[in-house]
Amino acid sequence: MTESHPSDDKALVRHRPEDLAPLRHKTIVLVGLMGVGKSSVGRRLAHVLDLPFRDADNEVEAAAGRSISEIFAELGEAAFRDGERRVIARLLDEPPHVLATGGGAFVNPETRALINDKALSVWLKADVELLARRVGRKDTRPLLKGKDPVAVLTELARIRNPAYAEAQVHVQTGDTPHGVAVDAILAALHERQVQGASSE
């Protein structure tokens, strides 16, 4: 497991092509709690790597023909997780891309094993208070309906962090521009690659 902090590195001296090329051979899957920036950071990461970007939540909605809120309300969380797992399995069979997953996806043992087998998993970490400020700006998340974001996120972190910790790369993020998180991800992926080459 590789861990990186945004201040660790200037991220590959501004993304040299020779450093980025080896990172395009495998799908990169971003995991972590809601509000950590998986979709917004993922889009920027995909742009830097010149890879397609996929958002698992959007793909689930497209497959189901309804919003995630509607899936939760009409079918329940178990049905949503089952559909999410099948969608992610399909996406992992596509050519390399950057994939942002929903906060609960990586907690499912079958989905987690699939991601770690077929892709590179990256846990984006952030303080609960920061996440609560971010998610409190929207009223579109089923798990937060009518609840205190700090309390919900604290409990989700307690339950989900052990699963997230099984991600192959850990990146601590903060209240900084998304480009800083992208740099930290690239630095951590590069470090993992260097470590892998030296251990062969």
Rounded distance between C-alpha atoms, residue 108 and residue 150, angstroms: 23
Binding site for substrate, residues? 57, 81, 103, 160
Rounded distance between C-alpha atoms, residue 29 and residue 56, angstroms: 10
E strands, the chain, are 2-4, 28-31, 53-55, 98-100, 120-125, 169-172
Rounded distance between C-alpha atoms, residue 76 and residue 120, angstroms: 29
Binding site for ATP, residues? 35-40, 141
Residue 86 has a CB neighbour count (10 Å cut-off) of 13
Binding site for Mg(2+), residues? 39
Binding site, residues? 35-40, 57, 81, 103, 141, 160
Are residues 100 and 38 in contact, defined by beta-carbon separation less than 8 angstroms? yes
